[in-house]
Amino acid sequence: MALRTHKTWFGVVLDGPDARELAHFYQRLLGWTIFQESEDWVDLALSEDAGYNLAFATEKNYARPVWPSVEGKPQMLMHLDIEVDDVEQAAAYAVGVGAEQAEYQPPTNIRVMLDPAGHPFCLYNDD
């Protein structure tokens, strides 16, 4: 039996050393709106009734993940996939708002980027 709830809000939480800094990066990247902001927690969504969100939590013991993984180093536990119209243009925009391009790139129509806390996210186009 699936989890049952009357709520329609679904979200993913990314930990980092500074929830506000990370949330404002994703606000610039995605153009979404901040709906709740405190020192240690921020909610970001396309709209108040979108039904999904990204949230950000300050974690004082946060360790920046390494990508690709290296034995004995903090590994990413998840990543975001963001479909874009033009991968090169989107990667340039992401860098302009505070991302960095990962050193290693897969040989496809994907750009692996790192947010300010080091979380990998992929910009891709299936065309």
Q: Contact at 8 Å (CB) between 96 and 106?
A: no
User: What is the rounded end-to-end Cα distance, in angstroms, of the chain?
Assistant: 37
Contact 55, 42 (CB under 8 A): yes
* Cα-to-chain-centroid distance, residue 24: 11
Q: Which domains does the chain have, with CATH numbers?
A: 10-62 (3.30.720.120), 64-127 (3.10.180.10)
On the question of pLDDT at 4 being above 90, the answer is no
Q: pLDDT tens digits, residue range 78-94?
A: 899 999 999 999 999 99
pTM of the model: 0.90
For the record, the structure tokens of 76 come out as 């990413």
Enumerate residues 6+ apart whose C-beta is below 8 A from 18: 58, 117
Beta-carbon contacts of 46 under 8 Å, excluding residues fewer than 6 positions away, are 30, 32, 33, 52
pLDDT, tens digit (0-9, with 9 covering 90-100), for 25-75: 999 999 999 999 999 999 999 998 888 899 999 999 999 999 999 999 999
pLDDT of residue 38: 96
Predicted local distance difference test score (pLDDT) of residue 1:
59
Query: Which pLDDT score, from 0 to 100, does residue 115 have?
Result: 98
Quick one: 3 exposed, middle or buried, by C-beta within 10 A (0-12, 13-18, 19+)?
Answer: exposed
